[in-house]
Structure 1
């Protein structure tokens, strides 16, 4: 018996075994392990063997040769094969089934010849179909049985396929590629007969008519359908024989990889490598990289670290060799997103891990904004970090709601893909993600990393709509399990070796509690009572074990933020009184051990900041805490800030929280920080250093492009890749915005004009205010993190108001007017303060300058009446802008819906007119109109616009002339009769005079806010004039602006071809026209269709004489006729010249 090789045998032993094997084989001592015999022994087998005819033998020989040609290598001809025994196929018969060529049954039309008799038409038709099918089966098919075999003659198949394709191409003209019904042949023959009866000119004319009347997309679809039908079904994949033949042409010199392998010294001892076959090594040939055009893109491929790879690399080495694979583009390294998603579903766990890790790395890089404008992945995690950091500065107390919609149910009529395209979070909830997380937490009990990921997902879900929030609270066992394992009481905290992270408090869980509780006071109260959270979290502050490391200190920071929220709701007051000694102990510890310096760690600064903010909230709720220790602490930390040699945003947390806490004491009790300390701070060198680059941290002044996600998943847009630190400027390393907000909040609580003037007159602050005043536009208005700067701007305006005439009030007026559009819904009360004390306060108006620059003729009763009604104007705007209603009650909620956005638009002075038009569009015929209220709103709006355009010309220029024209024109569409009143008419004439002065800047083709197409808006104006104007000259003059010749001809063609009713009632003469009448006539129109409309209107007498429209039509028609006459005369002369030349040649 032969010995089988083992892994421990060396090469000599294997050669010896081989030699012994050949020796015994030559002696015929080796017997096979199994023998194949013919089971069909008998007469039938013998007879079948003898009855084979010669044609079958020849066919089999052909098949065998082709099979040999299609194998990877030739089969040796000297092989000793036993006779092949035929398989008994008597049991492998299967009926021939008839399938439709399209895969689905064809639609059957009802036979119109069937008449209703005893049965219904439908039943008769079904019986006829069944009868026809039976007859067809019995006469044509006879249910022939045949064995289920596999075709092996590939060459014959190709011949048949090509013949079918050739036949199909020949019969294309005889069949229709458009008709698909059963009677398509009859209809197609009728069309062919009609075409035969027509001439080629008639066919082309009919074709042009059909093409012009049909949708271009439909025409393209029909052409592509015909092209697809004309394509052959030839198999484009080369056969193995073709591949082998191609490989035979490759020389060994073309293969670099085998050369490198065979160049190794040990290769000389390898077995059977004395002869090389290039055809077998052809698969190792380098793949040629296709040239990439600069104008074309390519599919993104990534390495395992998530970085985007170039289209190709110059050299393959060990660093990128593992990135090549047999995919769609084997010449390119890396994996596409589709390939990674496919690999993540692999059954091989290693492949799945690689794919998921790579996808995670890609998402991690994308959240920083590195792939902005490259790929679009709707994931944001950096937002949470930034919003937590803002909380330590006292700014991020209010939490954002990131809901795409506020629908309180899941629309089951929408499938998963459609829902994912519109609302990704709701689609995630549909996958039972909450139940899955509950199962992971309760049953799998994963490691800490997975637990934190689950809590991050729940936190993001908690920031979504009320529908998702209710799903979280209603998920049975989810919330209780989280509280049990990750907010354990003092008696249940334990260490389990099998699950070391269970029954251990996690700061992420306390944060999740805070986010959920911020939605409403009711939710916070229910959670507090059901799980007795207050006693549990306060224990974490008592236990010194949690203050010994960074993780424990972060837990205590989250606990203090959560406690602060409960105090705001009035739910933590008892705990403050009970645990005053705890707060005193923590404050005393920081007073003795924490310095306000750059050497203090950020987590320690966050811990102290959270404690001071907690104390300040308790002081606001009338808890007078530590009146002796607090002043000493504040003086120490403020003095230490003044001695710093450099400024960093993150290290100003202590200073900011000290200033906010001092402001709380100043408002509710006596001052704990003297004015001198703040004056010394403002005059210190560190303050100059901190505010030197104040504009660099401004979101309003810098057009930084933040990383935006898709519409189906909202984010806070904290990432900005093309900025320093790759985040929004307000939280960058050198930003002083949070610190200045806290400082101005504290300054406002002091009755010291000297302190306020010192701050406002500081050179760096003056530079920032000047930039705010002169900015044409404010950027990033809707960004969540811009709120910090808007709070600062509001504080600056309040400080300027409090110091009276000590500062130039007009310097801040521009900021107040433009700043109204940047404040969010939570600042409505502050916006009313601005309207009362700045915007509509005459003390801030540059009246003296206006009187010097205004001519005596401009002083009239309209302007005087507007001045005398400022209080009424203010009331109207406060109501129309919604500042007096729908105010958010932060006593019961600490969440703000991001979809609300900014309250006031940039062109807020025209908002009453726009709302009048919008309400008119929505109003039904049954609704009644309060015309007196509308008149009061419109009148005061026009009065304010008149004041604004007269005295605040610079501010007025921030709104384009075209948008002013559109907003004012809304008055004519918002009411059928208000524009006819004398007071309104007089104001409109005055206001349109300002537009007339700047009419050269009108551009109706530009993008207009709120309009998708100005032509549609102009058509509405024409229809309204035609219906209710009664030939009003003010309305008519408004219509003339787009008719000036420098504007697009489509507006003139619309008037003269479609709205002759406007022309017939138009009564404006040259003397009545506001604009230069020559701009309406010249240059002469050359559009023939428009000139024909002019001529038709004149001939029909539709244009009233002595009107400007009559002059326009008359001059243009006359000029058009003169040009036509000249063209005819010129043509006649040319014809005569040609005739004379011909006669002379003859």
Structure 2
């Protein structure tokens, strides 16, 4: 086709200086081709030449490529113009222009033009005859025009060499049985280009390397590692024309190269495959097959900034693939699962930073600085460092330096991607918020980020069709989302200032009332999503109540809370994902009540402080928004629920399901009685009698059960200190990304495993410690029940509480 278009251009583009449409007034000066192929001498003209001069149709130009209805008329007009031009030229001018063109044109193009003649002899014989005639004519020309002779000789020799190579190639390749056999009826396939068909032959089998030297890792489009000796079929699309073409799969280097391609589909596919590789690497699938760490290799190669640059792409598919790969790199859903589970543990709500251990980054002179000066000095150093240097030690901090929160806000607000991309972005933002209080401040300071999330993903009203079975959700914008509420909750854990900004500036109180007042069954969402949303709303309220904020909602929502407490634990029977989510929701409710009770118990301390301030200049301390009389009625509900749950302690499956709720009930009692003993309105004798009743009815029967003895026996195998293998780092963990190494789940006998006794025993010892501090006479009774710990005293009980507490809690958030 290219040759044909070139020929058409030559014929249809006349030029005064170098004519490409050769014409002659003598009708016997042309052969039947009618153009630049051959110009026979007058003596060699035959009847066919006469047919050409009288023919009304061109032999070479058909007009098919013009694509219009008048294409034939246009071709006829060109043919007529060529004839007129040839008739106006002398025979000598025709021969000179023909010799010039033969010297300039590619021999294959000349052969193609000659092949268009169907009723002439082979192109090779005709071309030689014409060249002989031209040589005889040139010899008769004056000496000044003999410069054409050398061009003709070179043209003839190059034609012969080209034809010789073509014939040998044809014989050689035809012997190899080409996969495509050209047929005569195929359009424009009369001249087979064998060198272009050779790459379609079958690939050789993968070479077997007998050396011990490692081979380059190659991956499938699903991110799976392909064995070096795997012989996969080509229809899988894993073979290409790069290095080691016989091996299926793509190397990391090739995927990096494709991720910067000009073709959108190649960029998207490369980023998707890299994300799948990272996900499988974090799961430990390559630990036994590859040397070194895939994550560390990718990060050293600039993978993080490749994703950051790809986020700025204008194509939505590339953005989505970049978000997915970044999610695979940063977020561990198993880590988040266990962090949510430990929220209701003793001190489990306390936020601890996900800051990597950067010992290499610290310098010796910083050891003499105090905490504030060291923090300020480090902040100034990070601001002056290049982004790659910061990301080398702390990936989240490096991303924040690139202002990633602004780009993610733009994608959520303007691009409005599909639900899966929205969820990935919310998970990434949650991981960044877990990093530190500084990261929370940067997220809060990002213009329109929190506004967009609250407006789009925490609305108070949305289309109820979302809850219908089989409804396909094409956009998450305008629909309430549990992941958005969780992000706000984690953000609030960054400190009391962050919580105050969320409650006041972004009107989160109205959202809390909306999602707490309504039962999950009545919320127009799928049941599991509605339960998660309600759970995260209670957890956010619990975080705020821990700072003494949002407690004014307690009186408004008190009927809702009492209704939930009255339904415990009968509504939590059975074993299903919905039941487990309902248990988590109930535990979040009790955790909220624990912090509200603790805030109400501060009334006595505040009043004592007010009475001690005799000076008139001292500022009065306002009382908390919740009085003790408002929370004193919660204890009977929770104690009754605790007794019912403890009756099923021997049934292992039910106990493991209800353990989070049991733990929170025990912690509530410990907080309640600690504050109860300090209330001025409470008679001290009544308080001691109440503690004796609790000990005889609840604690002593509990200590006599064999299940408690089994819990003491499980302390050692589940301990992170006594059994380091239970908390060993993941095979693909890197120092610049903080992680709990929970990917793939933890074994049952581990600190956060399903058989771990630490949550309940920590809460139980916390309760005993508070009781023995109030009522010293109960120490001997409780020690008699703790046969495993002979000689236990009140001080020893406190040590045990601190011992268990050290496994699961850190300093509370500021």
Which TM-score band (shorter chain)? 0.5 to 0.7
1:442-481 to structure 2, matched below 5 A, reads 442-465=413-436, 467-481=438-452
Distance 1:557 1:673, change over 3 A: farther
The equivalent residue for 1:307 is 224
What corresponds to 2:232 in structure 1?
316
Map 1:556-567; keep pairs closer than 5 Å: 556-567=534-545
Match of 2:638 among 615, 630, 633: 630
Aligned Cα root-mean-square deviation (Å) = 5.2
Q: How does 1:177-576 map to 2 (within 5 A)?
A: 283-293=200-210, 295-313=212-230, 315-317=231-233, 321-346=236-261, 350-372=265-287, 373-376=292-295, 379-382=330-333, 383-403=335-355, 407-408=378-379, 414-465=385-436, 467-488=438-459, 490=460, 492-493=461-462, 501-545=476-520, 549-576=527-554
On the 8 A contact 1:546/1:556 being kept in 2, the answer is no
CA contact (8 A) 2:395 2:736 kept: yes
Superposition deviation, residue 331 in structure 1? 1.7
- Counterparts of 2:285 and 2:344, CA distance in 1: 28
Cα distance per residue 1:28-59 (max 9 Å; x no partner): 87742356969999999977975999xx9999
Q: State which of 577, 586, 593 in structure 2 corresponds to 1:615.
A: 593
Structure 1 residues 286 and 444: alpha-carbon distance in aligned structure 2, compared to 1, 3 A threshold: closer
CA contact (8 A) 2:331 2:428 kept: no
Mapped to 1, the partners of 2:782 and 2:567 lie a distance apart of 34
| C-alpha separation in 2, matches of 1:430 and 1:345 | 23
CA distance in 2, matches of 1:739, 1:242: 86
The alignment status of 1:801 with 2:796, answered yes or no, reads: yes
Closer, same or farther: CA 734–300 of 1 in aligned 2, 3 Å: farther
Per the TM alignment, residue 526 of structure 1 is displaced from its structure 2 partner at its CA by 2.2
| 8 A Cα contact 2:406 2:446, kept in partner | yes
- In structure 1, what is the equivalent of residue 764 of structure 2? 743
- Offset of residue 582 of structure 1: 1.9
- Call closer, same or farther: CA 1:389–1:547 in 2, change over 3 Å: farther
Which residue does 1:926 correspond to in 2?
none
The C-alpha deviation readout for 1:766-807, integer Å capped at 9, x for no partner, is 9xxxxxxxxxxxxxxxxxxxxxxxxxxxxx99866259xxxx
User: Which residues in structure 2 correspond to 1:1022-1061 (within 5 Å)?
Assistant: none
User: Secondary structure at 2:702's aligned position in 1?
Assistant: helix
Shift of 1:563: 1.0
Structure 1 partner of 2:555: 577
CA distance in 2, matches of 1:243, 1:699: 75
CA distance in 1 between counterparts of 2:529 and 2:432 reads 24
1:539 alignment partner, SS class: helix
- Offset, 1:652: 1.9
State the Cα distance separating 1:680 from its structure 2 match: 3.3
Q: Are the equivalent residues in 1 in contact too, given 2:391–2:736 (CA < 8 A)?
A: no
Aligned counterparts of 1:677 and 1:550: Cα–Cα separation in 2: 34
Q: State TM-score, norm by structure 1.
A: 0.44
1:87-166 mapped onto 2 (5 Å cutoff) = none
Q: CA deviation at 1:459?
A: 1.6
Cα contact 2:583–2:660 (8 A) shared by 1: yes
> Match of 2:365?
none
User: Structure 1 residues 312, 482: CA separation in 2 closer, same or farther (over 3 Å shift)?
Assistant: same
Q: Which residue of 1 aligns with 2:742?
A: 719
1:592 and 1:646 map into 2 onto residues whose CA distance is 16
- Counterpart-to-counterpart distance in 2, 1:688 and 1:825: 22
1:696 pairs with one of 717, 722, 725: 717
Give the C-alpha shift of residue 341 in structure 1: 3.8
- Which structure exhibits the higher relative contact order, with contacts defined as CA atoms closer than 8 Å and separated by 6 or more residues? 2
Is the 2:491–2:498 Cα contact (8 Å) retained in structure 1?
yes
Give the equivalent residue in structure 1 for 2:124.
77
Q: Does the 8 Å contact 1:594/1:600 carry over to 2? A: no
Task: Identify which range, 382-391 or 35-44, moves more after superposition.
Answer: 35-44
Cα separation, 1, equivalents of 2:701 and 2:183: 86
Name the CA distance, whole Å, in 2 between partners of 1:369 and 1:529.
Answer: 44
Do the aligned residues in 2 keep the contact of 1:380 with 1:715 (CA within 8 Å)?
Answer: no
SS at match of 1:77: helix
User: Which secondary structure does the structure 1 equivalent of 2:352 belong to?
Assistant: strand
Q: Does structure 2 retain, via aligned residues, the 8 Å contact 1:250–1:282?
A: no
User: Closer, same or farther in 2 for the Cα pair 1:528/1:242, shift >3 Å?
Assistant: farther
Separation (CA, whole Å) in 1 of partners of 2:646 and 2:566: 16
Counterpart-to-counterpart distance in 2, 1:651 and 1:79: 97
What's the CA shift for 1:587? Answer: 0.8
Secondary structure of 1:434's counterpart equals: helix
In structure 2, the CA distance between the partners of 1:269 and 1:399, relative to structure 1 (3 Å rule), is: farther
Equivalent position to 1:667, from 667, 670, 674 = 674
SS in structure 2 at match of 1:331: coil
- TM-superposed deviation, 1:542: 1.0
CA displacement 1:1096-1130 (0-9 Å, x = unmatched): xxxxxxxxxxxxxxxxxxxxxxxxxxxxxxxxxxx
Task: Work out whether 1:590 is the aligned partner of 2:581.
Answer: no
Alignment of 1:882-901 (within 5 A): 890=812, 893=813
SS of equivalent to 2:647:
helix
- Alignment gaps of 5+ in structure 1: 1-25, 69-74, 85-152, 154-238, 767-795, 804-808, 828-887, 895-1146
Partner of 1:654: 661
1:462 CA displacement: 1.9
| Cα distance, 1:367 vs structure 2 | 3.0
The correspondence of residues 5-24 of structure 1 with structure 2, limited to 5 A, is: none
Taking the aligned partners of 2:573 and 2:721, their CA distance within structure 1 comes to: 34
Please name the residue that 2:139 is paired with.
none
Residue 76 of structure 1 deviates from its aligned partner by 6.0
Q: Tell me, yes or no, if the aligned pair for 1:649 and 1:734 is still in contact at 8 Å.
A: yes
Deviation, structure 1 residue 391: 1.0
Structure 1 counterpart SS, 2:242 = coil
How far apart, in 1, do the equivalents of 2:239 and 2:498 lie? 54
Using the alignment, how far apart are the partners of 2:656 and 2:272 within structure 1? Answer: 34
Deviation at residue 531 of structure 1 after TM alignment: 2.6
- Displacement of 1:658: 2.0
* Structure 2 gap ranges (5+): 1-50, 63-74, 112-121, 132-153, 155-161, 297-328, 359-374, 467-472, 602-630, 677-689, 773-777
Verify the 8 A CA contact 2:281 2:732 in the aligned structure 1: no
Distance in 2 between residues matched to 1:676 and 1:701, nearest whole Å: 34
CA distance in 2: counterparts of 1:722 and 1:437, whole angstroms: 29
Q: Tell me the secondary structure at the aligned position of residue 739 of structure 2.
A: coil
In structure 2, the residue corresponding to 1:731 is in which secondary structure? coil
8 Å contact from structure 1 (residues 323, 333) kept in 2: yes
Q: Secondary structure at the match of 2:771?
A: coil
> Equivalents in 1 of 2:657, 2:496: separation in Å?
31
